[in-house]
Amino acid sequence: MYLEPINFVAMKENQIQIHYNIYKWEELSESYKNLMDLSIAAQQNAYAPYSNFQVGAAILLEDGTIFTGNNQENAAYPSGLCAERVAIFACSAQHPNIKIKVIAICANSEKIDINTVLAPCGSCRQSMYEYESKQNTPIKVLLKGVDNEVVEFLSVADLLPLAFQCDGLKKVR
């Protein structure tokens, strides 16, 4: 079926800008380097026999506690889970009331040539956004790029413009 394009002028046009910073590894603070290194160590323990794509995440809480996670795959593919959610769910399960400051994420594969920064999947963005909203404080996201670069987002909201949120869902009917 061919649909005619809408040919009237929109009442209003909006644009959304997102911000991120790019650092060279040497420019990172020691705590950022440490967190990135821990995400790389976690990535090396990923269980990814089906995709051969290993992802690691390391989360820094405001009290200094660090949680790591990696992707966990399953022969029944949809039963697996991404690294970011493995880490952030464990974090929330054990420290539900300590704020999350930073999450560092990296990916690697011995079989696939990765020459781009790993941007988290939509489900992980939505999950991270939930905890950012809950704690009412931005969570920084660090992504390991290529050529020793690290990309920093100052909040998950920058990774998920127009995020789904519905406070009404919490109300008891």
**Choices 3-11, 12-20, 33-41, 78-86 (CB under 6 A): range interacting with ligand THU:** 78-86
By CB under 6 A, is residue 104 in contact with ligand THU? no
Q: Is beta strand 54-61 parallel, antiparallel or unpaired with respect to 100-108?
A: antiparallel
Contacts 24+ apart (CB under 8 A), 128-131: 128/84, 128/88, 128/103, 128/156, 128/159, 129/156, 129/157, 129/159, 129/160, 129/163, 129/165, 131/88, 131/92, 131/100
Of 27 and 52, which has the nearer Cβ to ligand THU?
Answer: 52
DSSP 127: H
CB atoms within 10 A of CB 151: 17
- How far apart are the C-alpha atoms of 71 and 54, rounded to whole Å? 7
Chain position carrying tokens 């990774």: 159
By CB under 6 A, is residue 82 in contact with ligand THU? yes
CB of 120 to ligand THU, least distance (A): 4
Site residues (CB under 6 A) for ligand THU, limited to 109-138? 120-121, 124
Of 98 and 119, which has the nearer Cβ to ligand THU?
Answer: 119
By CB under 6 A, is residue 145 in contact with ligand THU? no
Size of the site for ligand THU (CB under 6 A): 13
By CB under 6 A, is residue 80 in contact with ligand THU? yes
By CB under 6 A, is residue 67 in contact with ligand THU? no
Sign for the pseudo-dihedral over CA of 168, 99, 40, 159: positive
CB of 10 to ligand THU, least distance (A): 33
Of 3 and 146, which has the nearer Cβ to ligand THU?
Answer: 146
What are the catalytic residues? 84
Return residues touching ligand THU (CB under 6 A).
48, 51, 53, 55, 71, 73, 80, 82-84, 120-121, 124
